[in-house]
């Protein structure tokens, strides 16, 4: 009988954010697949879980699929974790989920930490309808994507690396206009968590004058949004 694949969200900073069920599923799993096995080992040790982890990251996920499917077909329970947050959300996961479903193997994703939900809800921008854009393409397709999004009416959510934040803010200003409302959340769930809200121009000025450390989520209001 086939085993089952669990996608298990892990904290994006604050270790208290792991759920009771995530801990139980990790304890019960025969195999834990992790983006970075050393990082995962530290988390598992913190949770008192003695499980060996196997590498499953963007550079080997295609090659690793067959082996993981084999384990599942042998009846193993397999858990997939990423470095932080929910696997599959700007992290490996999708290819394995699709392969499992094609083979008739059950998949269950636990609810839990992910960076875009607290950033969006905390932005103060409409969150009844939104689109998650993750990381913009780094080179090819970046301008085309931004051009497409200039007319988007829902709140847009982007992930960005710290060294690209100011450049991205400049591009957002170029495509969406300096007065478009937005928010940038930094270091969510961590000691130096902060959310800066205002127009794109105001937020850019703030981050030109303040530290660009940590991880960032950018939320941008849709084209028709007006502050009341
Ligand atoms: N799987 C993760 C999730 O569910 O959110 C996302 C992983 S992606 C490789 C990493 C990006 O997520 C970072 O560059 C940043 O944009 C965002 N991120 C992750 N942790 C964050 C945090 N504590 N504060 C702000 N942004 C964070």
Ligand 1 contacts (CB < 6 A) are: 12-13, 82, 84-86, 89-91, 114-116, 159-161, 185, 187-190, 215-217
Stronger pLDDT, 211 or 137, i.e. the higher one: 137
In sequence order, what are the residues at sequence separation of 6 or more whose Cβ sits closer than 8 angstroms to the Cβ of residue 57?
Answer: 35, 36, 92
Lowest model confidence (mean pLDDT) among 54-63, 72-81, 217-226:
54-63
Q: pLDDT averaged over the chain?
A: 96
Question: Hey, what domains does the chain have and what are their CATH numbers?
Answer: 4-109 (3.40.1010.10), 116-220 (3.30.950.10)
| Predicted TM-score (pTM) above 0.75 | yes
Q: Residue 213 has what pLDDT?
A: 87
State how far Cα 88 lies from the chain centre: 8
Q: Is the pLDDT of residue 171 over 90?
A: yes
C-alpha 105 to ligand 1 mean position (Å) = 28
The predicted-structure confidence for 20-38, as pLDDT tens digits, reads as follows: 999 999 999 999 999 999 9
Question: What angle do helix axes 61-73 and 94-102 make, rounded to 10 degrees?
Answer: 40
The predicted-structure confidence for 63-97, as pLDDT tens digits, reads as follows: 999 999 999 999 999 999 999 999 999 999 999 99
Based on its alpha-carbon atoms, the radius of gyration of the chain, rounded to whole angstroms, reads 19
Q: Residue 61 has what pLDDT?
A: 87
Give the integer Cα–Cα distance in Å for 132 and 1.
Answer: 37
CA distances from 22 to 5, 7, 171 (A): 13, 9, 39
Share of the chain above pLDDT 70, in %: 100
Q: What is the mean pLDDT of residues 2-28?
A: 97
C-alpha 65 to ligand 1 mean position (Å) = 24
**H/E element holding 142?**
helix 142-149
User: Which of 64, 84, 58 is closest to 5 using CA atoms?
Assistant: 64
- State the DSSP string of 68-125: HHHHHHTT-EEEEE-SSB-TTSSSTTHHHHHHHHHTT-EEEE-----SHHHHHHHHTS
């Amino acid at each position: 009988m086939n085993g089952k694949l669990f996608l298990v969200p892990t904290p994006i900073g604050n270790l208290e954010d792991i759920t009771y069920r995530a801990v139980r599923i990790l304890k019960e799993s025969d195999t834990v697949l992790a983006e970075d096995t050393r990082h995962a080992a530290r988390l598992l040790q913190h949770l008192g879980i003695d499980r060996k982890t196997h590498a499953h990251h963007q550079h080997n996920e295609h090659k690793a699929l067959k082996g993981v499917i084999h384990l599942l077909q042998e009846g193993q329970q397999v858990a997939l974790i990423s470095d932080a947050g929910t696997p599959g959300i700007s992290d490996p996961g999708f290819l394995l989920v699709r392969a499992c479903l094609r083979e008739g193997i059950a998949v269950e994703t636990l609810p839990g930490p992910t960076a875009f939900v607290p950033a969006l809800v905390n932005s103060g921008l409409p969150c009844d309808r939104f689109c998650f854009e993750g990381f913009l393409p780094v080179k090819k397709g970046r301008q085309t994507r931004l051009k497409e999004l200039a007319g988007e009416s829902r709140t847009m959510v982007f992930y960005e690396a710290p060294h690209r934040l100011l450049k991205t803010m400049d591009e957002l200003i170029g495509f969406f206009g300096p007065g478009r409302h937005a928010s940038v959340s930094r270091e969510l769930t961590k000691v130096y968590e902060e959310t800066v809200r205002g127009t794109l121009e105001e937020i850019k000025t703030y981050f030109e004058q303040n530290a660009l450390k940590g991880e960032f989520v950018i939320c941008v209001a849709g084209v028709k949004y007006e502050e009341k």
